Each structure stands twice: as structure tokens, then as C-alpha cells.
Amino acid sequence: MNLPSLTEHVDVPAPAVDYAAYLARQLAVQQFNVASYRLGDEQVWVKKANTPHGMARYRVLGALALASGLPVLQPVPNLGGNTAIATEVRRLRDLAARGLRVPTVLAAQDNGFLMRHLGRPAEQTPSLGNEIEAAVPAGPEAVLRLWAQGLRAIELVHNQGTCLSQAFARNLVRCPDGMVGYIDFEDDPMAVLALPLCHGRDALCYAHSTAIYLRQCGALDDARPLWAQWLQARGPALQAVMQQSTHRMRWMRHLPQSRRLGRDLQRVRAAYDLLRD
């Protein structure tokens, strides 16, 4: 048997991390619902179950969605508690299996799970929403470049036959390599909506969360043909959903563009101006 010399370097593999045991320990002492930790050379997040939610508000919102003729806005219940944890773990694993960039689930139990940070350890992974807002002073070109990247990221999800949970720009994150990742999956739209409606919901969420920045930097007129091209390439099912939705939202054109009625209505009006034919 050949033994190494005294001067020879021998690589000793690092002991495997017991993610399940680590998760169990942290869930027993963690005060907040979500917290970040350094675990060896990696950064991880522990998400624990919060208080379960009731269904009453969802029934009211569902009735309003049907009454307004906008099934795409039918609420998707997030029941909180252990149910939300199970839903998010299942969705993260499913999306990862489809080749989409989501946090890796390292361990899970009924009341919480452990996931790997999408960025580098100790580095923040900014949301696309924050990056788009920060780019407004740089002008239309900078904002449109980031905004179009978000559209492509949503398209990638749809091309894999699935959808996001809430496709607001805050739930799209820019990884260190510049690619977009996806977070926050406590609910599952496909459990209550047909897939074309889920895709329409993604489109409306993204428009609602970004159109105001397009307006602020003077890029809204340039964005509208880009939106139309993106929608045209998505196929007739999504086009039909969006056509019905924008038709039912025509009343939004009467909303003022000023801030006197609040920023939320500004967002709604800007989104309508982006979506309208």
C-alpha cells in the first residue's frame, strides 16, 4: 500500500452538512417567519409556518371577480400555516425540476423549510422591481432593458407549462450573473384557475407592478409595442384572456394620472395604459 509522504498534501472532504438536523434546530428557536444564516460556505434561509389564514376574504374577492366579469382576478387562497409551507416546497421543487431558477430546497418539515440563497453569500439579490425603480433617473433605455428582461423571464416560465404565484416585479430577483430568478410561492394559481388564466394573472401582476416606472421615465409609449409583440407570441389562449380583461377594465381610463388619489390608483391607471389596445 502506498502511503503519502510527510510533505504530500491530502485533500480531506468536508463533512456533509445535515440540513434536516440544522432545520429542526433553527425552527425550534427562530423568532421570525423568515431568517437568513451562514452555514459553512453558503448562505441559507429558514422559512417557518406563520398563523393560518381564514377563507372569508377570499370568498368576497371571488364574488367580486365574477361579478366584474374578470375570472383572471379570482383570488388564489394562501391559507398560511403548514399548508403554505407544503405548497411552497412543492412548487419550488417542481419549478427547479423544470429547469427554472428558484431557491434550492435543502430540507423540509411540516412547519418550515430550509433553502439556499440565490445569490452569493453575504450579498443581497435585488428584486427586479427595485432595480427598475432605481433605473428611472437613468432614462427610458435603462428601464426598458430591465423591464424586457422581466417579460422574458415570465415567458420562460410559461414555456415550461407552468406559472408563477404572484408575478409582481418584487418576486423576480436579479442573480449575480444577471439572470432572473423567482421567489415566493406560498399559493398555487393552477389549483384554482385554468392555465391560460394563470398566465394572464402573471401578465397583469407584472404590468401592475412595473408600468408606473415606465410612465415616470417616459418609456410607456415605447413599451406598448414591445408588450403587444410579447403577447402576440404567447398564443391565442393568453391573447383571449388579455383581450377580455382589458375590455372589462376600460373604466380605468377615467382614472387620473396624478397622485391626488394615491399611488395605488396611479399604478392601476399606468397598467391600463400599457395594456390597452
Three state DSSP letters for 164-209: CCCCCHHHEEECCCCCEEECCCCCCHHHCCCHHHHHHHHHHHHHHH
Please state, in angstroms and rounded to a whole number, the distance separating the CA atoms of residues 77 and 58: 6
Number of domains, the chain:
2
Shared-domain flag, residues 142 and 264? yes
Residue 269: what pLDDT? 84
* DSSP tally for the chain: helices H, then strands E: 9, 6
Shared-domain flag, residues 144 and 252? yes
Which positions ≥6 away from 34 have C-beta within 8 Å? 45, 46, 47, 48
Exposure string for 189-228, b = 16+ CB within 10 A, e = fewer: bbeebeebbbbbbbbbbbbbbbbbbbbbbebbeebbebbe
Residue type, 129: G
Shared-domain flag, residues 227 and 188? yes
Shared-domain flag, residues 96 and 153? no
Residue 65: what pLDDT? 58
Residue 115, phi then psi, degrees to nearest 5: -135, 155
> Which of 51, 84, 116 is where one domain is finished?
116
Determine the structural domain holding residue 271 and report its residue range.
128-275
What's the whole-model pTM score? Answer: 0.87
Q: Is residue 107 part of a domain?
A: yes
Shared-domain flag, residues 142 and 227? yes
> Which of 84, 116, 148 is where one domain is finished?
116
Shared-domain flag, residues 53 and 89? yes
Residue 52: what pLDDT? 75
Shared-domain flag, residues 206 and 95? no
Residue 55: what pLDDT? 54
Shared-domain flag, residues 104 and 165? no
Residue 249: what pLDDT? 78
> Which of 87, 116, 145 is where one domain is finished?
116
Shared-domain flag, residues 245 and 203? yes
Residue 172: what pLDDT? 98
CATH of residue 62's domain is 3.30.200.20
Shared-domain flag, residues 110 and 169? no
Residue 102: what pLDDT? 98
Q: How many CA atoms lie within 13 A of 156 on its CB side?
A: 18
Q: Is residue 110 part of a domain?
A: yes
Residue 264: what pLDDT? 72
Sign of CA dihedral 207, 275, 233, 94: positive
Q: Is residue 10 part of a domain?
A: no
Please state, in angstroms and rounded to a whole number, the distance separating the CA atoms of residues 217 and 207: 15
Shared-domain flag, residues 173 and 112? no
Shared-domain flag, residues 262 and 139? yes
Which residues make beta-bridge pairs with 48? 112
Query: pLDDT truncated to tens, each residue of the chain (277 aa)?
Result: 443 443 344 443 445 789 999 999 999 999 999 999 999 889 999 999 998 766 555 454 555 555 566 777 777 878 889 999 999 999 999 999 999 999 999 999 999 999 999 988 878 889 999 999 999 999 999 999 999 999 999 999 999 999 999 999 999 999 999 999 999 999 999 999 999 999 999 999 999 999 999 999 999 999 999 999 999 999 999 999 999 888 887 776 766 666 665 667 788 888 888 988 7
